[in-house]
Amino acid sequence: MAAKREPRIGLFLCHCGKNIAGGLDLEALAESSKGLAGIAYVTTHKFCCSEGGQAEIAGAIRGQNLDRVIVAACEPSLHLLTFQRCGEEAGIEPQFADLVDIRKWTMPGSPQKVDPGLALEESRKTVELAVKRMRLKRPVPLVTVKAEQAALVIGGGIAGLEAALDLADKGYQVHVVERQPTIGGKMALLYKVYPTNDCAPCILAPKTAYANIHPKIELLTNAEVRSVKGHVGGFRVEIVQSPRYVDTDTCTGCGDCVAACPRRVRDDVYAAGLGPRKAVFIPYDQAIPRKAVIDAANCLYFRNGTCRLCEKACLAGAIDFNQQPRTIGLSVGAIIVATGFEEYVPSAKTEYGFGRFGNVVTQFQLARLLDIDGPTKGRLLRPTDGREPRTIVMIQCVGSRDETAHPYCSGICCMYALKHAQIIREMVLPETEIHICYIDMRTPGKGFEEYYRRTRDMGILFIHGKPSEVAERPETKSLVVKVEDMDIGRPLELEADLVVLSCASVPPAGSEELSRILGIERDDSGFFKELHPKLRPVETRVRGVYLCGAAQGPKDIPASILQARAAASFADGELRRGTIRLPASMVKAEEIEKGGA
């Protein structure tokens, strides 16, 4: 029997400018690598990923009769595809082109950076292991599978809807899963949006209405993803839809059932805890679907078997107490995660009195107070006594840029504080005195710095300092904010009828479980982790699963829309050919396209 031919491996060591070459002796690494079994060719290049670098790799493959390639440079998520395409064009199967990271030992700012001697030693180990792996690699049989012309979007906020509409308009069937009983997400609960102070519903409502009637979009509200199996082009998804106890086909949204319900509870979602709702409710006037939903945990019928007044009041006969959770199975080719964010609950920041002092609220609660569909119908009233506040203090970076809570900057807090200050001064209570206490004002977007200057010109007062304490005067429920103004170098005590906390944006509840279901990673802050923060910001480590909006990290509406369209574009790029080539081990026999193996 003829001996198996030793593979001819080419090793290309990248200088990466000075990022690698400045931190280790590449010539010494090249010399030591020449003796490794399987190595047929070794060279260095200033930038392997450049046009010239790729041309040299392709030329060496042909000229040196190489059948496998290893590039020692940066992390695989950055340029592995680049070198796989380069090798494929020169005649090497993509699976026989590899990229290993030696830059981490030398890159300024890398937490793994070491001295040149240790960097050389670690790089030698990395290269040796990569060569051993490449020698042992065997061809992986590839098969062709049909790509389902459908997509799943998890989350029905502005990012999820934008991605869904983009894909649906391209002809794909799109299933939108939203765990709340209505779509629209956080944007549906805002009054205005910066930097134009446009009406938020005026921007969002056409999109939610179009999504509701689009022939290619199925809205699954009150639903969550239970399991995901399969692969890109052929994901099998199980969704559980909780009962509304209202037949949405029959319900007219008239509100008679709501009027008849005797049970009032605190609305923590749509009124942000500042107002009540009924046990049967329609979330808000512009809700889509505009259908009633029964909160079984608070409904008197489910609690003790009494009442049923909503059922009697419903002339359409839409109330159905016998509804059960529904399991839905879907086959989709791609998945887009658009789960958004939640506002940090600042109870742990006891120095600010949230939860103890009734007139300490968050910016999202303030947004609901300013909204004409909010708990006070747009009137800015103190929660404790319904009085209009004459002095307001806003405190920035509550839970953000804080090592005891969340060390990252949430990015949107400065701008929405400015927005709310402008709305109050211009449209609600023009005589109100407003202070904004800040560490730094961060306004980097288009038109944002001008927006900040406009706020200052309106007479809003800015205090350069983070308050140390908020105290309450028990007799009046008014507040005293203690802060040191760094610009004038002395402590201040600010009297306030209302204190507003600008809180961190945090991952929503259920993110950890969803990451497990999808097999994707989360970053140190708990948001879903992109494949590469610069070059692949909407991809994940699972091919066919994409991220957009605040699911990937805090961001505002324009950035969320841009990322949603990018995610939809990537999904379209995978599915539009109709078939996908995958390793045979990932695919069931019945999925393989005839003649495609």
Structure tokens at 459: 């007479």
Q: Which contiguous run of DSSP H or E holds residue 332?
A: strand 326-332
Tell me: the pLDDT tens digits for 435-476? 999 999 999 999 999 999 999 999 999 999 999 999 999 999
User: What domains lie within the chain, and their CATH numbers?
Assistant: 9-139 (3.40.50), 150-242+325-340+507-580 (3.50.50.60), 256-313 (no CATH), 342-505 (3.50.50.60)
**CB proximity list for 447: less than 8 A, separation 6 or greater:** 195, 196
Burial 216-241 (b: 16+ CB within 10 A, else e): bbbbbbbbbbeebebbbbbbebebbb
- pTM of the entire structure? 0.91
Q: How many CA atoms lie within 13 A of 122 on its CB side?
A: 18
The per-residue pLDDT for 586 is 84
The per-residue pLDDT for 54 is 96
The per-residue pLDDT for 590 is 65
The per-residue pLDDT for 3 is 54
Residue 123 burial class via C-beta count within 10 angstroms: exposed 0-12, middle 13-18, buried 19 and up: buried
The per-residue pLDDT for 591 is 72
The per-residue pLDDT for 583 is 87
Q: Where are the beta strands (DSSP E) in 476-570?
A: 478-485, 490-496, 498-503, 505-506, 545-547
Residue 160 identity = G
Structure tokens at 285: 């006037």
Is-contact 396 500, C-beta < 8 A?
A: no
Is-contact 152 335, C-beta < 8 A?
A: yes
The per-residue pLDDT for 109 is 87
Cα–Cα distance between 48 and 102 in angstroms, integer? 13
Structure tokens at 284: 């808000």
Residue 591 identity = E
Report DSSP state, residue 108.
T
Cα–Cα distance between 398 and 442 in angstroms, integer? 15
The per-residue pLDDT for 4 is 65
Helix (H), strand (E), coil (C) string for 74-98: CCHHHHHHHHHHHHHHCCCCHHHEE
CA 44 to chain centre: 39
The CA-atom distances, in angstroms, between 469 and each of 41, 185, 250, 354, 395 are 67, 33, 53, 11, 11
Cα–Cα distance between 190 and 251 in angstroms, integer? 27
Residue 218 identity = E
Is-contact 29 11, C-beta < 8 A?
A: no
Tell me: the pLDDT tens digits for 312-323? 999 999 999 999
Is-contact 463 485, C-beta < 8 A?
A: yes
Cα–Cα distance between 106 and 75 in angstroms, integer? 13
The per-residue pLDDT for 587 is 82
Cα–Cα distance between 331 and 477 in angstroms, integer? 56
Give me the residue label for tokens 């699976």: 95
Helix (H), strand (E), coil (C) string for 275-314: CEEECEECCCCCCCCCCCEECCCCCHHHHHCCCCHHHHHC
The per-residue pLDDT for 594 is 55
Give me the residue label for tokens 């956080």: 186
Structure tokens at 509: 């509840």
Pick out the chain residues at pLDDT < 50: 1-2, 595-597
Minimal CA–CA distance to 77: which of 522, 515, 553, 536? 536
Residue 551 identity = A
